[in-house]
Chain A
Amino acid sequence: MISARVAEVRRVSSTLWRIDLELLEGVDEPKPFTFAMLWIPRVDEIPLSIAKFSRGLVSFIFRVRGEGTKRLASLRRGDFVALKMPLGKGYAPKPRERILAVAGGVGIAPIPRLLDFCKDTGCDVTIVWGVRTRSEYCDPSLLGLDSDRVEVASDDGSIGFRGTAIDLALEVLRNQRFDTAIAIGPKPMLRAFCEKVRAFAISRALVSVETTVKCGLGICGSCYIKQLPKLLCVDGPVFDCHEVEHFLEIPGA
């Protein structure tokens, strides 16, 4: 585990929080969509996507769900935590790859890292972000997402396009060509994405999924994917749509 010290915790929208950590030891540079197990001493250890990374600093974007994330939101500058990171294979696009990234809600978390990676290596990202309503949205710069190419959708039309992230993504796909489309968000959204994206000529349709992650080290077995001989914490969390067909059918978020 890598020790880290809280630099800042702030609420950025009605549902989203951002935490910046100062790393006290060196770590390998994380690929986009890799994640960390963040340990809050004597509270919990939870999987979180790596949202931002620069030498000595790592950030996470999260939503308060239960006890663990609640305690994460109440950490103070100077508190100590520890990390196992980077975990998983993630997804590292090739230079010049044209990517459509579709995020639902807190699914926006790994996108800043994807954008930074592409700035360094020359891939090209278009971002679609769907929220339920305006209050869940925040200026992308607050998430470290420095792009003028974030297309926003809201279910109630209170900001941006009126409709779901998938509705907007389909609009974008009709007008622009991509090599890869990748979606991250709640299961029903991913299911719809995998179903609808088939109509378009893209070479890869990927989704970043969630399972129970107890160890992050490929040993406890908790993160297996239904009917797939792979572990999320080793091979994921990004999979081809066709690999997770059965997994996406299981009800739940």
Chain B
Amino acid sequence: MVVLATEFCGLHLRNPLMNASGVLGFAPEHVDIMASWGIAAIVTKTMTLEPREGYPPPIVVELRNGGLLNAVGLANPGVDSIKELCERARALGLPLIVSVGGRTAREFAETAARAEDLGANALELNLSCPHAKGYGAEIGRNPRLVSEVCKAVCSTVKIPVVAKLGISDKMLESAGRALEAGCRGLTLINTVPAMAIDVYSAKPVLSNVSGGLSGPPIHPIAVKAVYDTYAEYGAEIAGCGGVAAWIDAAELILAGARVVQIGTALARGRGRDVVSRIIEGLASWLETLGFRSLDEVIGLAHRR
């Protein structure tokens, strides 16, 4: 028997899979649904101090290339709503990672403190949403701001903090600053800026005009982001981007990911199927390679 149980930033996980932020994750009913998929931890939708409406539909569209395009606009019921989510997750025996968003270091720290008070097991700082003005990527691609935000949060809370970054020419530098500031790990990557135009009406499809690309087309981008970051810092990384099958997860793990987050592939009610197949696939892959635990293959692609 191979061991898929692992530890990520101090959280004990029965397997290396969790959802990516933005797949459900803001109502107790969502927690029940996600728990039934078999993931080892639940990541909430990005929560802000105050509730946010988000953008009007269309907010998510499927693309012909197998990718998904979204601009949800960080719609969320506000960080206070996580109380119920924490209670539900605890009852189900699942760690809850609260994704936190904000515009300033102060807002981040305040939201993070609230999340900790209300029972979060860990925090993921959204420094990478590409389509909400003032939030996310505008901070993540600026190493100085990343440092400021991470310092503010890490000096405020005791629970583990993970910084979620997207690809940008400053990703490596920002990752370094986040770790320096006290983050226990990194989540890589968020969606990639993109847009779609309807060719008959000749109009952009998303109400926000542009948004973020996810799903299979971004997987190789995520592999490189994880590989480069692991090479530089050897940090604990949650690999994310385009994982739909065990082989996609395996690649991210070989590149250096300790755990794997799944977003797009969980859509359309496929969660349970996708998660169980990835778990089975990873187990038999490790057996084929003659390893007994997942820990032995993390970052294996770096070995010469």
Contacts and interface: CB of A to CB of B under 8 A. Distances in A.
A1 B27 contact: no
B160 to A, nearest CB: 25
Contact of B201 (A80, A84, A219, A228): A80
Given A41-B203, A224-B27, 9 more contacts: A39-B198, A45-B58, A216-B60, A218-B268, A218-B270, A219-B22, A219-B68, A224-B30, A230-B29
Given A1-B62, A234-B269, A227 B29 contact: yes
Contacts of B57: 37, 44-46, 214-215
A221 interface: yes
B205 A39 contact: yes
Contacts of B270: 218
Interface string A1-41: 10101000000000000000000100000000000010101
B177 interface: no
18 contacts: A1-B62, A1-B205, A37-B58, A45-B207, A80-B198, A80-B200, A81-B201, A84-B61, A84-B62, A215-B60, A217-B60, A218-B267, A219-B23, A220-B72, A222-B75, A230-B33, A231-B24, A235-B269
Nearest to B58: A45
A47 to B, nearest CB: 9
A118 interface: no
A48 interface: no
A228 B22 CA distance: 20
Given A224-B30, A226-B29, A39 B266 contact: no
A221 B30 contact: yes
Interface in B1-44: 22-27, 29-30, 32-33, 36
A78 B209 CA distance: 24
Q: Chain B interface: which size bin?
A: 35 or more
Contacts of B200: 3, 5, 24, 80, 82
B59 interface: yes
Contacts of B25: 221
A11 B68 CA distance: 36
Contacts of A84: 61-62
A221 B56 contact: no
B45 interface: yes
Interface in B230-284: 263-264, 266-270
Contact of B203 (A42, A46, A227, A229): A42
B29 A225 contact: yes
B268 A234 contact: yes
Given A39-B205, A229-B33, A234-B269, A220 B59 contact: yes
Contacts of B266: 218-219
Nearest to B54: A214
Contacts of A217: 60, 62, 68, 267-268
A2 to B, nearest CB: 10
Interface in B202-220: 203-205, 207
A221 B27 contact: yes
A224 B199 CA distance: 33
A219 B29 contact: no
User: B-side binding surface: helix, strand, loop or mixed?
Assistant: loop
A24 B68 CA distance: 21
Nearest to B26: A221
Given A80-B200, A82-B198, A219-B266, A229 B60 contact: no
A216 B75 CA distance: 16
Nearest to A230: B33
A41 B203 CA distance: 7
Q: Which of B54, B56, B57 has the most CB of A within 10 A?
A: B57
Contacts of B203: 41-42
Contacts of A42: 201, 203-204
A41 B198 contact: yes
A170 B204 CA distance: 49
Interface in B139-173: none
Interface in B58-74: 58-62, 68, 70, 72
Contacts of A227: 29
Contacts of A5: 200
A69 B293 CA distance: 56
A99 B203 CA distance: 43
A231 B32 CA distance: 11
A81 B75 CA distance: 26
Q: Which of B199, B205, B269 has the most CB of A within 10 A?
A: B269
Interface in A119-168: none
A42 B207 CA distance: 7
A221 B269 contact: no
A221 B24 contact: yes
A228 B203 CA distance: 38
Interface string A28-70: 0000000001010110111000000000000000000000000
B26 A231 contact: no
Contacts of B267: 217-219
A230 B29 CA distance: 8
Q: Which of A24, A37, A214, A220 has the most CB of B within 10 A?
A: A220
